[in-house]
Homo-oligomer: A and B are copies of this chain.
Amino acid sequence: VSVEARPTVVEVARHAGVSVASVSRVLNGLPSSPTMVEKVLAAATLLGYRPNAMARSLKVQRTDQLTFAMSDVGNPVYVTMMRAVERVTRSEGYRLMVSSVSSDPGEVLALLRSLRHSYADGLVLSPIRLTGELLEELHHPAVPTVVIGTVPASVPVDNVRANSAGGVRLALAHLYETGRRRVALVNGPVDTVPGSARGRAFDRQAARLGVSRDLELRVEADDFTLAAGRKAAIELLARCAGSRMPDAVLGGNDLLAIAVMQVLREEGYDIPGDVAVVGMDDTDLGTVTSPSLTSVSLGSEQRGTLAAQLLLDRLRDVDRPVRRVTVQPTLTIRGSSAPKAGRR
């Protein structure tokens, strides 16, 4: 089987005995006579014609490609978002490119700038850190962009936000109701957007409930990962030897919470008997641990879906007003936070 050169509109036109314009019209569903349609389709089928996407893009100034950029494919949350974004954009005929930039803002910036090469029509960006440069770039992005995550109101970009504060409130309220009074926070880096939001919300809600006043109950992991979580958990235990132990821990995300569970168990603590653990993001990971992990869903799938929809809307109308939508959190109670005694 030899390799045939791919046929072009010109050859289809010749075979059909018509003009290239007619071929293009038929292929794009523009009004044409039935006999014309038939002739063109016959020739196209015969030759196995496939339009060249690049040539088309150059002409119509549109690539039918979108980019999704996230900071860490290792985190299941981003996989969920990616899948949601892919599902809705694909259904609208777009191809999706993924770019797993690291959490380094420089890389994100490079990505944003690279979009000036016009290889994609739009971008869904889920950054974890926001620098001035990045915000500046978001003021006039190379292509329509929607950010998953919170950006300052001064930045005129569509974005879909998680309600971290509400999520923290949900988690703390639940722990409080189930009798926990000494709740620790194993947070991610506070120089990240979610890290700082969750940290502040925790302080506020803890104060409101009148619990967890000790600053030693706040630890900050270097990253939102299992490894960093272990390290942070060990630090927490070192600080809170004996009587100062927390009776609950809130993790900045599921990975941190799971790491905390592991360390606690290794140290002989019972979960949820001695200490309850709650995570955030409600990833599948939380369903496979024992006990399973109570977690606050920040709606990652929904955020992905919404982001994709905002982007598609923006693509349809570049001048529409900026939209910022917030997804509400929900709490899924599982084994890791069952009440201590028989109380409810």
Binding site for B on A (CB under 8 A): 1, 3, 6, 48, 50-55, 57-58, 63, 65, 73-74, 76, 79, 82-83, 86, 90, 95-100, 116-119, 139-140, 226, 258, 262, 265, 284-285, 287-290
Kindly list 6 other residue pairs between chains A and B, CB separation below 8 angstroms, not including A53-B119, A90-B99, A288-B289. Answer: A53-B117, A86-B100, A95-B99, A97-B98, A226-B284, A289-B289
Which chain B positions have C-beta within 8 A of A51?
117
Which chain B positions have C-beta within 8 A of A48?
116
A98-B117 in contact (CB<8A): no
Q: Among the listed B119, B287, B288, B289, which residue makes an inter-chain contact with A54, where contact means beta carbons less than 8 Å apart?
A: B119
Which chain B positions have C-beta within 8 A of A95?
97, 99, 119
In the complex, what distance in Å separates the CA atom of A89 from the CA atom of B83?
A: 21
In the complex, what distance in Å separates the CA atom of A55 from the CA atom of B73?
A: 31
Q: Among the listed B73, B139, B285, B289, which residue makes an inter-chain contact with A82, where contact means beta carbons less than 8 Å apart?
A: B73
B6-A116 in contact (CB<8A): yes
In the complex, what distance in Å separates the CA atom of A283 from the CA atom of B278?
A: 23
In the complex, what distance in Å separates the CA atom of A57 from the CA atom of B83?
A: 28
B53-A55 in contact (CB<8A): no
Q: Among the listed B55, B65, B73, which residue makes an inter-chain contact with A83, where contact means beta carbons less than 8 Å apart?
A: B73
A6-B118 in contact (CB<8A): yes
Instruction: Decide: A97 near B96, CB < 8 A? Known: A118-B54, A119-B53, A226-B288.
Output: yes
A55-B58 in contact (CB<8A): yes
Q: How far, in Å, is A330 (CB) from chain B's closest CB?
A: 21
In the complex, what distance in Å separates the CA atom of A290 from the CA atom of B293?
A: 12
Would you list the 5 A-B pairs with minimal beta carbon distance, nearest first? A53-B119, A50-B116, A54-B57, A53-B117, A290-B290
A1-B290 in contact (CB<8A): no
Which chain B positions have C-beta within 8 A of A99?
86, 90, 95-96
In the complex, what residue of chain B is closest to A67 when comparing beta carbons? B95
In the complex, what residue of chain B is closest to A119 when comparing beta carbons? B53
Q: How far, in Å, is A160 (CB) from chain B's closest CB?
A: 20
B73-A63 in contact (CB<8A): no
Instruction: Decide: A118 near B58, CB < 8 A? Known: A140-B1, A265-B290, A288-B285.
Output: no
Instruction: Decide: A83 near B79, CB < 8 A? Known: A99-B95, A117-B51.
Output: no
Instruction: Decide: A52 near B288, CB < 8 A? Known: A83-B74, A100-B83.
Output: no
In the complex, what distance in Å separates the CA atom of A86 from the CA atom of B73?
A: 11
Selected A-B contacts with CB under 8 Å, 29 pairs? A1-B139, A1-B140, A6-B118, A48-B116, A50-B117, A51-B117, A52-B58, A54-B54, A54-B58, A54-B63, A55-B58, A65-B97, A65-B119, A73-B79, A73-B83, A74-B284, A79-B79, A86-B98, A86-B100, A90-B99, A96-B97, A96-B98, A226-B284, A226-B288, A258-B288, A265-B290, A288-B288, A289-B289, A290-B290
In the complex, what distance in Å separates the CA atom of A116 from the CA atom of B140?
A: 35
In the complex, what residue of chain B is closest to A142 when comparing beta carbons? B50
Which chain B positions have C-beta within 8 A of A140?
1, 3
Which chain B positions have C-beta within 8 A of A73?
79, 82-83, 86
Which chain B positions have C-beta within 8 A of A3?
140
In the complex, what residue of chain B is closest to A75 when comparing beta carbons? B79
